[in-house]
Structures are given as structure tokens and as C-alpha cells.
């Protein structure tokens, strides 16, 4: 075994959005940085390699398949385009850090052996890295299903990573879990041509949102070829010659070519040796941090999915804004507690952008509420959905009746991932619903919906 020792001002564990940005900026300013990543395939982090970018690439291509396109050939072509894009982004991210003389990239698995020391193993090689300060950004991993009779290592038992590379395209795919990941993959595989059965333990989809939206989203999924089973849990499984059989607590069974478990992601802290460094975790296994993202050990921060916050790459990027100033000896301009109106998007076809409160939640919080809602197909001032032949969806905005400020929005429409950012910015900036209603927007655009929908506030 070959052993070496190295010292850095800052050691970053994990090449996610926050970690790589911190490493690149520190190194550009002359700080000696070591960044450790356990896999060449994960350079750049989850988002570009197995998360946001590849799945949205596949979903986009799936939406372009015509009825007479061969599903398998179309899926193969989409996978190839995704792989080409990932390779380019992976290379760009490597260069982003390696171009700086003060940055050292180490490939291997890191484990704390003390408060200021990690050991990085790569095959038979061992590198000991000491540093004055550490940033942990190891992300999250798919939660493994614990179903009697099913081996999670089986090629028929998938998670959100392995499902992206499945071959052949399943004729029938069962998906367990109806959260954002389950809805996205159900849409994707249905559009590619698979028959999809979505197994939901809840009574309805999107239970935290309006019942009308929930019902319309489910109807859209059924039109796309997704069967939805509510109030259902898988209690046992078995692999058979023709696929996977799932026994449920309702007494029914689902037999499919493969099963995808979309049951959430857990912080990737296993094997990090956090106990050796004295870094504490919470009841969910996430690294415990305060609003400045400091851990229980001075000089150690945790960023991104591993700290138990919202699992979004843009939140990870905001984490870097909080931690970087501290590493440079300055006070950050904001903390995690300052975040308001953080938008989310569930990528279906069309996508669903959400920010702020629903009408019911706003009323429960003590607001007098006005609501504007309209099906996308009936918004005359917004012809863009008709032009691109996707008029599904509904736009709903919740407004405080006393202040005229927007309290929340449910934007289920094409371009929702963009429109929700505008509404979120308006909420953070105190822009009134009236100003959004009277805004001058380009044409044709999805933003024009604000003119018509907000004019109908009840």
C-alpha cells in the first residue's frame, strides 16, 4: 500500500454544487484547497450526473416521441444524448476546479480519522489529508427499499439512478412512491411507451396542495398511460421469470417487468467517520447544522443535501453563499433562516411550479385570502401553450386580501419552472398582485397568464 500525507487550508468532501463552487472560488483567491470525490462518474455532483440534468433531458426527449416511433429505439437514442451531455458537463466541472493552481483534486473515498484529518482510500492507495477547515458536501443517496423477497441489487429492482440506464425499456414499470421523483419518472416512462403503475400510499396525489389540482394532475397522468393505486403499500415481493410480483396490503398484486422505488433520498453520511471528528447528526441521519451551516465542530461546515435541508441544487448553491464568506473571515450577508419564497418544480408534462402557501394554508395562517385560478386551456391571453400543443394544466395564485401581496402560487403549465421564479421574486420583493396583473410581458409567453388570471381575483 502506498501512503502519502497532504495539508490544505480547506478540505472539501464531495463535488456537489456548493462544494465545487467553494473550492473553485477559494482556489482562485489563493487559498490552498483539496477537494475529494469518491467517483469519476460523480465529478460535478448529483445534479449533472444522475439527477436534475439527465432526468430532465430524458423527460424532454420522451415528450417528443410520436405514436409510430419505436419505444426501445427512441429510449436508446435519448439515453445516448443524455450520456453525451453528461460527459461534457462532467469535463467542464473538472476544469472549473483543476484550472486553479491552488486546487488539488483527489479521487477516493474520504473518512475522518480525527477532528482535522481525513483518510482517502483509492484501491490500495491511502492519502492522509489534514486541513484547518473542512466543508462536507457528500449529498444524498436513494433510500433503499426493505421489501421481503426483493433483492435491491437485482437489475429488476431500480432506484432513480439505475432506472435511467435500464435496459431494455420495461413494457410495464411499477413505481412505488408518488412524490416528485415518482411523478417525474411515471411521466417519463409513460411518454417513452411503457405501461406504468404508480403505487401511492396516500389517499391522493400532491396531498399538500389543492384537491382540484390533485385530481387534475391524476387525470393527466391517466391520459398519459399511468395507472394510479392509492392507499396502497407493498408488503412483499418476488422475482419471477416474467418480472417482479408485488404483494400489497390491499390483498392485490402487481406484476411488472421492473419496479422503481421512489421513496426519497437520505443524507450520505455512512462511512464518513463523523464520530471520529465529533460531528453530530440528527435523528434523520443528516449532519446537524445551525443557520450558518456550522456543525458541532468549530471549523467544519456541512452544505447541500447532507445537512438535511431542502434537496435542491439551487439551495446547495445558496449554501455556498453562507459558508464562503465565513471561510474568508467575513460575515455572510444572510443565513439559512432568511430564506423565503423558495420555489420548487415537479417535472411532469407539463411541469408543476410551486411557491408559498395554498389558499387553505394561508387561511390557517390567519390571512384574509383572495384566489385566482384558471385552466391553462382557457387563458385567452396566453397562446403559447396552444402554439406548442400542450394546453394541460391550471394556474392558481393566492393573494392577501388586505395587502395585495402574493402569498403563493401553483403553476401547472409549460414553462412553469421559469414562471415560478418570477412569482417567487415578486413575493420576496414585495411586488403586489396588481403590479403583476398590469405587467407588460413579451408575447407569446407563459408570463402573460398573470395578466388574465390575476384580473379574475375573487
> Could you give the CA distance from residue 437 to residue 430 in angstroms, rounded to a whole number?
14
> What is the overall mean pLDDT for the chain?
96
Q: Is 9 helix (H, G, I), strand (E, B) or coil?
A: strand
What is the pLDDT, as a whole number, of residue 234?
97
Residue 124 in this model has a pLDDT that exceeds 80? yes
**Average pLDDT value for residue range 94-104:** 95
Judge whether 326 and 25 are in contact, CB under 8 Å: no
User: For residue 123, what pLDDT is reported?
Assistant: 87
Predicted local confidence at residue 4, as pLDDT: 87
Contact 176, 260 (CB under 8 A): yes
Query: With contact defined as beta carbons under 8 Å apart, do 265 and 161 qualify?
Result: no
Q: What is the CATH number of domain 344-456?
A: 3.30.390.30
Rounded CA gap, 17 and 24, in Å?
11
CATH number at 157-263: 3.50.50.60
- pLDDT at 1 (0 to 100): 58
Query: Does the annotation list 184 as a binding residue?
Result: yes
Q: Is residue 286 classed as helix, strand or coil in its secondary structure?
A: coil
Is the model's pLDDT at 3 over the cut of 90?
A: no
Helix 211-223 vs helix 180-192: crossing angle, to nearest 10 = 30
Q: Is the peptide bond before 444 cis (omega within 30 degrees of 0)?
A: yes
Closest CA to 335 of 278, 289, 282: 289
Question: d(Cα 132, Cα 8) in Å, to the nearest integer?
Answer: 7
On whether 287 is known to bind a ligand per the annotation, the reply is no
Is residue 243 marked as binding?
A: no
Long-range contacts from 178-182, C-beta under 8 angstroms, 24+ separation: 178/202, 178/205, 178/228, 178/262, 179/262, 179/264, 180/344, 180/346, 180/347, 181/262, 181/264, 182/260, 182/262
Percent of the chain with pLDDT over 90: 96
Confidence at 2, pLDDT banded by 50, 70, 90? low
Structure confidence by residue, pLDDT tens digits, 22-48: 999 999 999 999 999 999 999 999 999
**pLDDT tens across 148-172, in order?**
999 999 999 999 999 999 999 999 9
HSE, CB side, 13 Å, CA atoms: give it for residue 447. 15
Helices (H), 164-273: 180-192, 211-223
Note the pLDDT tens digit of each residue in 399-447. 999 999 999 999 999 999 999 999 999 999 999 999 999 999 999 999 9
180 has binding-site annotation: yes
Tens of pLDDT along 201-213?
Answer: 999 999 999 999 9
CB atoms near residue 75 (< 10 Å): 25
Q: Mean pLDDT across the stretch 86-112? A: 95
> Matching CATH topology for 157-263 and 344-456?
no
Query: What is the predicted pLDDT for the residue at 393?
Result: 98
Question: What are the extents of the domains in the chain?
Answer: 2-141+266-338, 157-263, 344-456
Q: Alpha-carbon distance 457 to 368, whole Å?
A: 13
pLDDT digits (tens, 9 = 90+) for 347-389: 999 999 999 999 999 999 999 999 999 999 999 999 999 999 9
Which percentage of the chain shows pLDDT scores above 70? 100
List pLDDT tens digits, range 239-259: 988 899 999 999 999 999 999
Distance between CA atoms of 143 and 175, rounded to whole angstroms? Answer: 14
Q: Among all residues, which ones are annotated catalytic? A: 443
- DSSP letters, 318-368, are HHHHHHHHHHTT---S--GGG--S--EEE-SSS-EEEEE--HHHHHHTT--
Fold category of 2-141+266-338 in CATH: FAD/NAD(P)-binding domain (3.50.50)
Q: Is 282 known as a binding-site position?
A: no
Residue 179 marked as a ligand binder: yes
Amino acid at each position: 500500500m502506498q501512503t502519502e500525507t497532504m495539508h490544505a487550508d480547506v478540505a472539501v468532501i464531495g463535488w456537489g454544487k456548493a462544494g465545487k463552487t467553494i473550492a473553485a472560488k477559494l482556489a482562485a483567491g489563493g487559498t490552498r484547497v483539496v477537494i475529494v470525490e469518491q467517483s469519476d462518474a460523480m465529478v460535478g455532483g448529483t445534479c449533472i450526473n444522475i439527477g436534475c440534468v439527465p432526468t430532465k433531458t430524458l423527460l424532454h426527449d420522451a415528450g417528443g416521441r410520436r405514436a409510430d416511433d419505436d419505444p426501445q429505439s427512441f429510449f436508446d437514442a435519448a439515453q445516448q444524448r443524455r450520456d453525451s451531455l453528461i460527459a461534457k458537463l462532467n469535463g467542464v466541472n473538472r476544469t472549473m476546479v483543476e484550472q486553479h493552481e491552488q486546487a488539488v483534486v483527489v479521487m477516493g473515498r474520504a473518512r475522518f480519522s480525527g477532528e482535522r484529518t481525513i483518510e482517502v482510500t483509492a484501491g490500495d492507495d491511502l492519502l492522509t489529508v489534514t486541513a484547518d477547515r473542512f466543508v462536507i458536501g457528500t449529498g444524498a443517496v436513494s433510500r433503499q427499499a426493505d421489501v421481503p423477497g426483493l433483492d435491491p441489487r437485482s437489475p429488476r429492482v431500480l432506484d432513480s439512478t439505475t432506472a435511467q440506464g435500464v435496459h431494455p425499456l420495461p413494457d410495464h414499470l411499477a413505481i412505488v412512491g408518488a412524490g416528485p421523483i415518482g411523478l417525474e419518472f411515471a411521466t417519463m416512462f409513460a411518454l417513452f411507451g411503457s405501461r406504468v403503475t404508480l403505487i401511492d400510499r396516500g389517499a391522493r396525489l400532491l396531498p399538500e396542495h389543492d384537491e382540484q389540482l390533485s385530481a387534475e394532475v391524476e387525470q393527466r397522468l391517466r391520459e398519459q398511460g399511468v395507472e394510479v393505486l392509492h392507499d396502497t403499500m407493498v408488503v412483499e415481493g418476488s422475482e419471477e421469470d416474467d418480472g417482479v410480483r408485488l404483494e400489497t396490503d390491499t390483498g392485490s398484486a402487481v406484476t411488472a417487468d421492473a419496479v422503481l422505488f421512489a421513496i426519497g433520498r437520505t443524507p450520505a453520511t455512512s462511512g464518513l467517520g463523523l464520530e471520529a471528528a465529533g460531528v453530530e447528526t440528527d435523528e434523520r441521519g443528516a449532519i446537524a447544522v445551525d443557520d450558518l451551516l456550522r456543525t458541532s465542530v468549530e471549523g467544519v461546515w456541512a452544505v447541500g443535501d447532507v445537512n438535511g435541508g431542502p434537496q435542491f441544487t439551487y439551495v446547495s448553491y445558496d449554501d455556498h453563499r453562507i459558508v464562503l464568506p465565513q471561510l474568508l473571515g467575513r460575515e455572510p450577508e444572510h443565513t439559512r433562516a432568511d430564506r423565503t419564497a423558495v420555489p420548487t418544480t415537479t417535472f411532469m408534462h407539463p411541469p408543476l411550479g410551486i411557491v408559498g402557501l395554498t389558499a387553505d394554508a394561508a387561511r390557517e395562517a390567519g390571512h384574509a385570502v383572495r384566489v385566482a385560478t384558471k385552466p391553462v386551456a382557457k387563458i385567452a391571453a396566453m397562446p403559447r401553450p396552444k402554439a406548442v400543443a400542450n394546453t394541460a394544466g391550471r394556474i392558481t395564485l393566492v393573494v392577501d386580501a388586505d395587502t395585495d401581496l402574493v402569498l403563493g402560487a401553483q403553476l401547472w403549465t409549460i414553462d412553469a419552472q421559469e414562471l415560478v421564479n418570477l412569482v417567487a421574486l415578486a413575493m420576496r420583493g414585495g411586488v403586489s398582485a396588481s403590479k403583476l396583473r398590469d405587467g407588460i410581458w413579451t408575447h407569446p409567453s407563459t408570463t402573460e397568464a398573470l395578466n388574465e388570471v390575476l384580473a379574475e381575483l375573487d
